[in-house]
Structure 1
Amino acid sequence: MATNTSKLVVIVVLPGSRLLTLAGPADVFSFAQQMLEAESGGHSKGYEVVLASATNKKDLQLNSSARLVAATTVHEIDRKIDTLMLIGARLEEQPDSDQFYHWLTTHAPKIRRIAGVCVATFVLAKAGLLHNRRATTHWERNDDLQRQYPDIMVDTTPFFIKDGNIYTAGGVTSGMDLSLAMVEEDYGRDIALRVARKLVIHLKRPGNQKQFGGLLPGYELVSPLLVQLRPWLLEHLHENISVEEMAAQCNMSARNFARVFLKETTFTPAKFLEKLRVEMARNYLENSALSLEEIAVRCGLGGLVSMRRVFLRHLEISPGTYRSTFRTALHTD
């Protein structure tokens, strides 16, 4: 698809942005622009990428021990914006943050598509752009986003989500996944695939965010009950552990133990135990040469078929695929 006018892509750099979060999408759109121009003999303009500050200051401190001097601020842009992508989140620390929110809500109806990468989802949410929409963010901030904005349908499984003309992406590199999808949306799979090959990344990365996040968030491990019980569980993980046995280790009745456990962890004992088994199996898959069958037995996941079923339920990936994806590069058989 050739066009004579370029699509203006404005990447808004919010305070505290990470270098890769903004550089990845910028490179995706820039490479696409170069390829479109090359194949059309310079007639197709593709994209024009502009890095803009969300504040009145163009000199920005990034979250990577680096500084960036943006080409402009959003307030100085007087052209039609095709794609607006927000990067970063520490906007509230700036004295002129209200000015940006006013600019965003005023201009949003005139912009073809708007995206928030990683925790920039929180900025879109505060601006009211995610009301009653599906959205994602970094898997570590899933609960925070849902708690602060209960009207949003938060799902941190996908790398990115499109709901209408609003797009949200998960962790840092998910911005590249989203940008490639936008290029494919605009100019087709062939151009997007060529950009992906140029950057040596997947056009559509296999898997999802679940594979990167822990199944047992850290705050649940400060439970007094778990602090007492966890070492024993790890030692007996290969056994068929009952709720009664867990309760006995805490000198509690099974009924009271189950009630207190649920209150402190938000999990039933059985659900927690299954998640713990999966987490330990992940560790073996990443860092050992044990066979899948041996890992299944050591972690109390039964046989290979049973472990595969549990992995698919919790991580949406098979144990074998998980190992090939996440096994440490320094490990040798």
Structure 2
Amino acid sequence: MNEDKVVTVNRSLRKQVVIVAMSGNMLLDFAGPADVFTNADKCLSLSGSKMGYDVLIVSPTPDRKVATSTGIEIVCQYSAMEITTPIDTLIVAGNDFQTLQKSAYTDFCNWLSFVSENNTRRIGSVCGGAFALAEAGLLNGKKATTHWQLSERLKKEYPLVEVNTNAFYTGDGHIYTSGGVSSGIDLALALVEEDHGKDIAIQVARRLIFYLSRPGFQVQFANLLPVYESSNIAEKLYDWFNENLHQPLDVGRIADHLNMSPRNFTRVFHKQTGLPPAKFIEKLRVETARKYLEDTDMSLEGIAEKCGLGGLVSMRRTFLRHLMTTPSDYRRAFRTSIKTPGINDVIQPNVYHRN
């Protein structure tokens, strides 16, 4: 095929999925969704269906090259700008506006700004791909998500976007956005289910050994407290807080420790951290409890007491408020892998032994 030939996408029983692999991202950002749609195509073929997906990975730059964060460089068959609409499903995977100047993507963003529901049935993003959609104006007035580490930046740089980082993926009209890395798989499975029903989507999820609907929220992965500079009052108090988490930590006691008046301490603390002292301490208690749940065999009661979270009922309520999960469910999901039982520990020895 002539490499200068423009690709024309026609609507048919086979849906064209175009995945734009942005430079500087993880392979899974674009490979995950590509594997979902490719395996969905195989499942549909095995079922005797004439419907399916044609998956095309393209670059956002005319040179058709994509450099990934792993050091692997891929050369795409086409750039996005060489594709004429309509496209059935367009997904922008990852972004590297932080490592490449936006000017490198000028042509792509201009092309993207002309993509709409009139010529493309669905438009989606994975991880930082939301920035490209926002830059093209496609997220103005829309609900959207991105990787939890990028959410504040997305809010700041694109105030017209209604950012919600809790969900693994979200949809608003014909626009779909997803969180970080593996969330692109969650989104792609949801789109397959939307197209061909739950049975096909389940078959794909089983092939990939992945949840069809993954339990939990992105907030469970995020740090509740930001990293503060060494001069920040919260950083200065960090060690003292941790030594005394098991005790009541009211404003009066903390202010006395710093030889400040409660009123002045509250004012300075809120100004430097953006949080009232009580809210900061509650988040610190949850963050500390998370580490005990991940790394130790300490009982839930012991963790609640050590972190000053009261009893089990109180700790459960606090975890649900901040992480949308219970302490026991959090431990099951995030327990340090080396402490997780292997298959040989789960299966009773000699169960399958034949005499």
Tell me which interval the TM-score lies in, with the shorter structure as reference length: over 0.9
Aligned to 1:264: 272
Unaligned ranges ≥5, structure 1: none
1:55-70 to 2 correspondence within 5 Å?
55-70=61-76
2:213 aligned with 1:182, yes or no? no
Aligned to 1:199: 208
2:85 aligned with 1:76, yes or no? no
Aligned to 1:251: 259
Amino acid at match of 1:7: K
2:291 aligned with 1:283, yes or no? yes
Residue pair 1:135, 1:153 contacting (<8 A) in 2 also: yes
Residue range with higher mean Cα deviation, 46-55 or 12-21: 12-21
1:89 Cα shift?
Answer: 1.2
Aligned to 1:163: 172
User: 1:19 and 1:325 mapped to 2: Cα distance?
Assistant: 24
Aligned to 1:292: 300
Q: From 17, 39, 54, give the equivalent of 2:25.
A: 17
Partner SS state of residue 137, structure 1: coil
Amino acid at match of 1:75: M
User: 1:93 and 1:68 mapped to 2: Cα distance?
Assistant: 20
Partner SS state of residue 337, structure 2: coil
TM-score by length of 2: 0.89
Q: From 87, 101, 108, give the equivalent of 1:93.
A: 101
Residue range with higher mean Cα deviation, 261-270 or 10-19: 10-19
Partner deviation per Cα, 1:129-179 (whole Å, 9 max, x = no partner) = 011111111101111111111221111000011000001101111000000
Aligned to 1:239: 247
Residue pair 2:29, 2:126 contacting (<8 A) in 1 also: yes
Q: From 149, 154, 158, give the equivalent of 1:149.
A: 158
User: 1:148 and 1:34 mapped to 2: Cα distance?
Assistant: 41
User: 1:128 and 1:48 mapped to 2: Cα distance?
Assistant: 27
Residue pair 1:229, 1:249 contacting (<8 A) in 2 also: no
Aligned to 2:232: 224
Aligned-CA RMSD value: 1.6
Residue pair 2:96, 2:128 contacting (<8 A) in 1 also: no
1:79 Cα shift?
Answer: 5.4
Partner deviation per Cα, 1:275-307 (whole Å, 9 max, x = no partner) = 000000000000011100000000000000000
Partner deviation per Cα, 1:237-258 (whole Å, 9 max, x = no partner) = 0001111111112221100000
Aligned to 1:121: 130
Aligned to 2:113: 105
Residue pair 2:293, 2:335 contacting (<8 A) in 1 also: yes
- Aligned length in residues: 328
Amino acid at match of 1:200: I
Could you tell me the percent identity over the aligned residues?
47
User: 1:37 and 1:289 mapped to 2: Cα distance?
Assistant: 48
Residue pair 1:8, 1:80 contacting (<8 A) in 2 also: no
User: 1:102 and 1:116 mapped to 2: Cα distance?
Assistant: 17
Amino acid at match of 1:265: T
Structure 1 runs of 4+ with >6 Å offset: none
Partner SS state of residue 17, structure 1: coil
User: 1:260 and 1:95 mapped to 2: Cα distance?
Assistant: 41
Partner SS state of residue 338, structure 2: coil
1:4 Cα shift?
Answer: 6.1
User: 1:94 and 1:69 mapped to 2: Cα distance?
Assistant: 21
User: 1:59 and 1:93 mapped to 2: Cα distance?
Assistant: 16
- CA 1:127–1:112: 2 relative to 1, 3 Å: same
User: 2:229 and 2:210 mapped to 1: Cα distance?
Assistant: 35
2:37 aligned with 1:37, yes or no? no
- CA 1:53–1:143: 2 relative to 1, 3 Å: same
Residue pair 2:40, 2:201 contacting (<8 A) in 1 also: yes
Unaligned ranges ≥5, structure 2: 1-10, 342-355
Residue range with higher mean Cα deviation, 282-291 or 98-107: 98-107
Partner SS state of residue 289, structure 1: coil
Partner SS state of residue 308, structure 1: helix
User: 1:209 and 1:222 mapped to 2: Cα distance?
Assistant: 28
User: 2:340 and 2:108 mapped to 1: Cα distance?
Assistant: 51
Partner SS state of residue 7, structure 1: strand
Residue pair 2:89, 2:122 contacting (<8 A) in 1 also: yes
TM-score by length of 1: 0.95
Q: From 210, 218, 224, give the equivalent of 1:209.
A: 218
Q: Which structure shows the bigger proportion of residues in helix conformation? A: 1
User: 2:66 and 2:254 mapped to 1: Cα distance?
Assistant: 53
